[in-house]
Amino acid sequence: MNDIPPVFIFSTGRCGSTMVSQMLKRHPDILSISEFFAALGQNAFAGKKVAGDSMWRLYSEPGKRMSIIARESFGELLYPFNDPDARFNAATLPPIMAASVPHFSDRYEELYDEIGRFVCVQPKAWPADHYRALFTWLGERFGKKLWVERHGGSLLMASRLLRHFPEARAVHMFRDGRETTLSMSGHPSYRIALALMRRARRWGVDLYRLMERIECNDRLTNMLAVLQWLRSDLDDLFSEPVALPEFAELWSRMIETGHRVFGHFPPDRLLNLRFEDIQENPEREARRLIRFISPRLESEAWIRDVVGLPRRTRSKFARLDSGAQHSITEACRPGLERLGYRTL
């Protein structure tokens, strides 16, 4: 697992990155890790060394973020609550069981227990080293040669992840921000995030910057993040109206974050993947992706297996009236121009 450097797939979310996880899952040599750090959230990196039992609590104890699942449907959620043999319900679901563990195996309950036994006996270490140990163990268990982690909205964590995993390389997956904006507007996580950001602005706090930079050893930012949740009622957050340009501004801001964090990386450390190109020519883009990860992993059988996964989608943006199109385009403009999309 140490021969080929790991890869993070960074994105704003709602841009096809889940599809890329599914493609990589089908490769026999790649451990495709889905929604792992999203499930852990802002508590993923503690400011001190911790033992394995502390990490297991992070992986297994539901937090307030998991309570959203009790009332909203997420496309990324893989745990089958309707299964009569399901061990957990929405209120007791461990964070890593929402999507990550079921993404690895159909025998997710057994795998969850195996992970628990492995994690709990680990000695004190920095969280990033615990993650390396877990990913290496999973890779060896499934016979993989490297791991690739992807989660929605990961651009917010790009700086932290690359700081804690300096050996990793980056794939930037993106889609036209105007289409992404409309997809974000129907997704609970983005509605809640924007509602929280709006409330924080009333206190004179830029919550986006805190979410982008937060570390658990930073007491002020960690306290503010916790207070945001404690003072927030989910019903109030869901009922708070959010205008489409606000989603567009968030998208553009995340694109600028990515450019600042890894835009200067050389070609052997950064691959840009455009959703529209994958739809247009899935074979070519799949080859670009696997060659970037490692030319040694290029496989004609894998290419044939995954080229059918991308599906053509109809433009939702094109169906809006001209006024809505203009307001979204203007809010997206910085990010669109950064990525080379036409804005006329």
Is residue 216 scored above 50 in pLDDT?
no
Q: List residues bridging with 273 in a β-sheet.
A: 173
Is residue 42 scored above 90 in pLDDT?
no
CB 40 within 8 A of CB 97: no
Which pLDDT value is given to residue 213? 73
pLDDT (tens digit per residue) in 86-99: 999 888 999 999 99
Which helix H or strand E contains 104, and what residues bound it?
Answer: helix 100-104
Which pLDDT value is given to residue 215? 55
CB 19 within 8 A of CB 273: no
Residue with tokens 């700086």: 159
Is residue 187 scored above 60 in pLDDT?
yes
299, 300, 302, 306: CA torsion to nearest 10: 140
Share above pLDDT 70 across residues of the chain, in percent, rounded to a whole number: 90
Which pLDDT value is given to residue 192? 85
Which pLDDT value is given to residue 196? 84
* b/e sequence 235-262, b meaning 16+ C-beta within 10 Å: eebeeeebebbbbbbbbbbbbebbbebb
Averaged pLDDT for residues 255-270: 97
Architecture of domain 7-339: 3-Layer(aba) Sandwich (3.40)
DSSP 8-state secondary structure symbol assigned to residue 45: S
Which helix H or strand E contains 241, and what residues bound it?
Answer: none
Average pLDDT, the chain: 90
Q: For the chain, give every domain's residue range.
A: 7-339
Q: Which among 272, 261, 250, 255 has a CA at the least distance from the CA of 337?
A: 255
Report helix, strand and coil shares of the chain as percent, to nearest 5. Answer: 60, 10, 35
Is residue 144 scored above 80 in pLDDT?
yes
CB 37 within 8 A of CB 206: no
Which helix H or strand E contains 254, and what residues bound it?
Answer: helix 244-262
Distance CA 216, CA 63 (A): 16
pLDDT (tens digit per residue) in 277-330: 999 999 999 999 999 999 999 999 999 999 999 988 999 999 999 999 999 999
Distance CA 24, CA 302 (A): 9
